[in-house]
Amino acid sequence: MTTAVTGGRTDPPASRLTRREVDVLRLMAEGRSNHGIARRLRISQKSVDRHSSNILTKLGLLPDVDDNRRVRAVLTHLRATISG
């Protein structure tokens, strides 16, 4: 199923993140708000919003009323880091 969705690619979704997206995701994992992430990375909050959106898209995390996608993104990244 994964290969059908990714066009034959089987690499883990977390490996598709840019360096900056990984930086944003790590700060999310620390519990930082978008404002806090922007200050820490010295980028605009709009950039953090864009990076966050890209992270969720690349990890395949669709909106769901029962789940927090930001938490799910952090967990996906942690699982890839631990297993990889």
d(CA 83, CA 38): 29
**What b/e sequence results for 20-34 when a residue is b if at least 16 CB atoms lie within 10 Å of its CB, and e otherwise?**
bbbbbbebbbeebeb
Say what the pLDDT of residue 84 is. Answer: 66
Residue 2, token pair as written in the block: 């994964």
Furthest CA-CA distance within the chain: 39
Q: Taking the domains of the chain in order of start, what are their residue ranges? A: 2-83
User: Could you tell me which of 17, 49, 14, 55 has the C-alpha nearest to residue 33?
Assistant: 49
pLDDT of 28-45, one tens digit each? 999 999 999 999 999 999
Query: How many Å apart are CA 33 and CA 39, to the nearest integer?
Result: 10
Q: Give the model's pLDDT for residue 53.
A: 96
> For the whole model, what pTM was predicted?
0.79
pLDDT in tens, the chain (84 residues): 344 444 555 566 768 899 999 999 999 999 999 999 999 999 999 999 999 999 999 999 999 999 999 999 999 888 888 876
User: For the domain bounded by 2-83, which CATH number is listed?
Assistant: 1.10.10.10
